[in-house]
A and B are shown apart, each in its own frame.
Chain A
Amino acid sequence: MKRISSPHTGSIGAFRRGPRRALALVGTLGVSAFVTSCASGAELDTMKPKGPTADDLHNLIVPVFIVAGVVLALVIGGTILMIRKFGVKEYTEVDFPEQIHGNTRLEIGWTIVPAMILAVVAVFTVSVLQTQNKYHKDQALSVVVVGQQWWWEYRYYDGGFDPAKNYDLGIDVRLNEIQNHKGKTEKHPVIVTATQLVVPVGTEIDLYITSRDVNHSHWIPALNGKRDAIPGRIQPWKIEADDPGVYFGQCTEFCGLSHSRMRMQVVAMTDADFQTWWAQQKAPATATTPEGQAWLDQQKAITAGTFNSKVDPSKVLAAPTASAADRGMAIFRGQCTRCHLATGINEDIYTGEAQQVSKAAPNLTHFSSRTTYAGGIFNLYNPDGTVNRPQLEAWLRNPPKEKPAYAVGERGMPNLQLSEPQINDLVEYLLSTGTKPAAEIITKTEVE
Chain B
Amino acid sequence: MAIIEQPLAIGTGRAPEVRSPLGVFARPTAKGGWRSWVTTVDHKKIGIMYGAAGLVFFLVGGIEALLIRIQLARPDGSLLSAETYNQIYTMHGVTMIFLVAMPLGAAFSNYFIPLQVGARDVAFPRLNAFSFWCFLVGGLFLSSSWIFGGGADGGWFAYAPNTGVAYSPGHGMDFYALGLQITGIASLVGAINLITTVLNMRTKGMSLMRMPVLTWMLLVTQFLLLFAIPVITVALFLLTFDRRFGANFFRVEAGADPLLWQHLFWIFGHPEVYVLVLPAFGIVSEIIPTFSRKPIFGYSFMVGSGIAIGFMGWGVWAHHMFVSGIGPLSVTAFSLSTMFIAVPTGVKILNWLATMWGGRLRFEVPMLYAIAVPAMFTIGGLSGVTHSVSPADTQQTDTYYIVAHFHYVVFGGIIMAFYGGFYFWWPKIFGYKLDSKLGKVNFWLQLIGMNMTFGPMHILGLQGMSRRIDHYSPGFGFEFWNLIVSIGAFIIALSVASFLVNVVLSTVRYKRGLIPPAGPDPWDARSLEWMTASPVPEHNFDEEIEVRGLDEFWHRKYGYDKDHKVVRIATGEEVAHKGDNKNVHLPSPSYWPLVVALGLPLIGYGLIFNLLLTIPGAILLLGGVYGWVMEPPDDPNKAHGHDDHDDPSPGLALASVGAEEVGNG
Interface residues of A (CB under 8 A from B): 7-8, 12, 14-15, 18, 21-22, 25-26, 29-30, 32-34, 36-47, 54, 56-57, 60-61, 64-65, 68, 71-72, 75-76, 78-79, 82-83, 86-91, 93, 95-104, 106-107, 110-111, 114-115, 118, 121-122, 125-126, 128-130, 132-133, 149, 174-175, 177-178, 209, 213-215, 217, 221, 224-228, 230-233, 235, 248, 250-261, 357, 377, 404, 406, 408, 446-448
Contact = CB atoms under 8 A, between A and B. Distances in A.
Nearest to B358: A97
A79 B357 CA distance: 9
Contact of B477 (A40, A227, A235): A40
B444 A18 contact: yes
B301 A107 contact: yes
Nearest to A59: B392
Contact of B382 (A45, A68, A101, A209): A68
Contact of A102 (B254, B300, B465): B300
A111 B347 contact: yes
A174 B256 CA distance: 11
Interface string B399-436: 10000100000000000000000000000000000000
Given A14-B368, A46-B463, A72-B379, 17 more contacts: A25-B455, A29-B451, A33-B456, A33-B459, A54-B395, A56-B391, A60-B391, A102-B354, A111-B346, A115-B340, A121-B389, A149-B167, A221-B464, A227-B323, A228-B323, A231-B258, A254-B398
B462 A91 contact: no
Contacts of A258: 82
B622 interface: no
A149 B461 CA distance: 23
Contacts of A177: 253
29 contacts: A12-B363, A21-B448, A33-B459, A34-B458, A37-B463, A42-B476, A44-B476, A45-B477, A54-B395, A57-B392, A68-B383, A79-B353, A82-B361, A96-B360, A96-B565, A101-B297, A101-B299, A111-B301, A114-B342, A118-B343, A132-B391, A221-B464, A254-B467, A256-B162, A260-B466, A260-B472, A261-B82, A406-B169, A447-B474
Contacts of A57: 391-392, 394-395
A260 B468 CA distance: 8
A15 B371 CA distance: 11
Interface string B623-644: 0000000000000000000000
Interface stretch (B37-45, B124-132, B237-245, B328-336): B328-336
Contact of B455 (A30, A39, A357): A30
Nearest to A126: B332
Nearest to A33: B458
B576 interface: no
Interface in B339-396: 339-340, 342-344, 346-347, 349-351, 353-354, 356-363, 368, 371, 374-375, 378-379, 382-383, 385-386, 388-396
A110 B82 contact: no
B391 to A, nearest CB: 4
Contact of A227 (B256, B394, B474): B394
A129 B399 CA distance: 20
A-B pairs with lowest CB-CB distance, top 5: A225-B394, A44-B464, A39-B477, A29-B455, A33-B458
Interface of B: 81-83, 86, 153-155, 159, 161-162, 166-169, 252-259, 292-295, 297-301, 323-325, 328, 331-332, 335-336, 339-340, 342-344, 346-347, 349-351, 353-354, 356-363, 368, 371, 374-375, 378-379, 382-383, 385-386, 388-399, 404, 440, 444, 447-448, 451-452, 455-456, 458-459, 461-478, 480-481, 524, 558, 565-566, 568
Contacts of A128: 391-392
A404 B478 CA distance: 22
A257 to B, nearest CB: 5
Contacts of A406: 169
Contacts of A60: 389, 391-392
Given A97-B360, A126-B335, A79 B295 contact: no
Contacts of A125: 335, 339, 388-391
B464 A42 contact: yes
A317 B374 CA distance: 80
B379 A174 contact: no
B470 A90 contact: no
A102 B289 CA distance: 12
B256 A64 contact: no
B339 A122 contact: yes
Contacts of A447: 473-476
A40 B86 CA distance: 30
Given A130-B328, A231-B258, A86 B361 contact: yes
Nearest to A41: B477
B409 to A, nearest CB: 14
Nearest to B565: A96
A400 B640 CA distance: 70
A129 B332 contact: yes
A406 B351 CA distance: 53
B342 A37 contact: no
B462 A215 contact: no
B469 A96 contact: no
Contacts of A175: 252
A95 B360 contact: yes
A257 B83 contact: yes
B325 to A, nearest CB: 4
A53 B406 CA distance: 27
A215 B390 CA distance: 20
A408 B169 contact: yes
Contacts of A83: 361, 363, 371
Determine which residue in B374, B395, B481, B558 has the highest number of CB atoms from chain A within 10 A of its CB, and name it: B395
Given A64-B389, A260-B469, A79 B371 contact: yes
Determine which residue in B331, B342, B389, B471 has the highest number of CB atoms from chain A within 10 A of its CB, and name it: B389
A95 B402 CA distance: 45
B376 to A, nearest CB: 8
A237 B29 CA distance: 68
B295 A61 contact: no
A251 B470 CA distance: 13
A8 B360 contact: yes
Given A33-B462, A79-B371, A118 B339 contact: yes
A252 B466 contact: yes
Contact of B81 (A178, A256, A404): A404
Contacts of B468: 254, 259-260
Contacts of A88: 360-362
Nearest to A96: B566
A228 B325 contact: yes
A230 B160 CA distance: 10
A372 to B, nearest CB: 12
Contacts of B462: 33, 37, 45-47
Nearest to A22: B447
Contacts of B155: 254
A33 B357 CA distance: 29
Contact of A46 (B162, B343, B375, B464): B464
A227 B252 CA distance: 19
Contacts of A68: 382-383, 385-386
A93 to B, nearest CB: 6
Given A102-B301, A114-B343, A75 B374 contact: yes
Contacts of B375: 22, 26, 75-76, 79
A41 B475 contact: yes
A82 B344 CA distance: 22
A315 B390 CA distance: 67
Contact of B394 (A14, A29, A87, A224): A224
A403 B315 CA distance: 41
Determine which residue in B332, B382, B385, B386 has the highest number of CB atoms from chain A within 10 A of its CB, and name it: B382
Given A79-B374, A97-B358, A44 B259 contact: no
A30 B386 contact: no
Given A60-B391, A86-B357, A404-B82, A30 B258 contact: no
A18 B365 CA distance: 13
